C-alpha cells in the first residue's frame, strides 16, 4: 500500500505541473509520459500493471 500512496502523490504533483504549463508543454508531457511507460514496461513485467493504470487514468482524464 505505501507504494501506491507514493505513486498517487507523484500523479498529483504531475497534475499540478500540467495545470501550470501551457497547452504545448502539455502535449510534450503526454508524449514523454507515453515513452516513460513504454520504458517501464520493457524493464519489468510487474511495472506493466502500474504503467497500464497510469495510462488508464490519463485516458479517463482526457474524456
> How many helices (H) does the chain have, and how many strands (E)?
3, 0
* pLDDT score, position 6: 54
Total domain count, the chain: 1
Does residue 1 surpass a pLDDT of 50?
no
Residue 1 lies in a domain: no
Does residue 40 surpass a pLDDT of 60?
yes
* 21-33: pLDDT as tens digits: 566 666 666 777 7
Task: Report how far residue 16's alpha carbon sits from residue 2's, in angstroms, rounded to the nearest whole number.
Answer: 21
Q: Which of 39, 7, 2, 46 is CA-nearest to residue 15?
A: 7
- Structural domain harbouring 44: 14-62
Residue 3 lies in a domain: no
Residue 40 lies in a domain: yes
Residue 29 lies in a domain: yes
Amino acid at each position: 500500500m505505501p507504494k501506491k500512496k507514493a505513486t498517487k502523490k507523484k500523479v498529483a504533483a504531475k497534475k499540478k505541473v500540467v495545470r501550470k504549463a501551457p497547452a504545448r508543454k502539455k502535449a510534450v508531457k503526454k508524449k514523454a509520459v507515453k515513452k516513460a511507460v513504454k520504458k517501464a514496461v520493457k524493464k519489468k513485467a510487474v511495472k506493466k500493471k502500474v504503467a497500464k493504470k497510469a495510462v488508464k487514468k490519463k485516458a479517463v482524464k482526457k474524456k
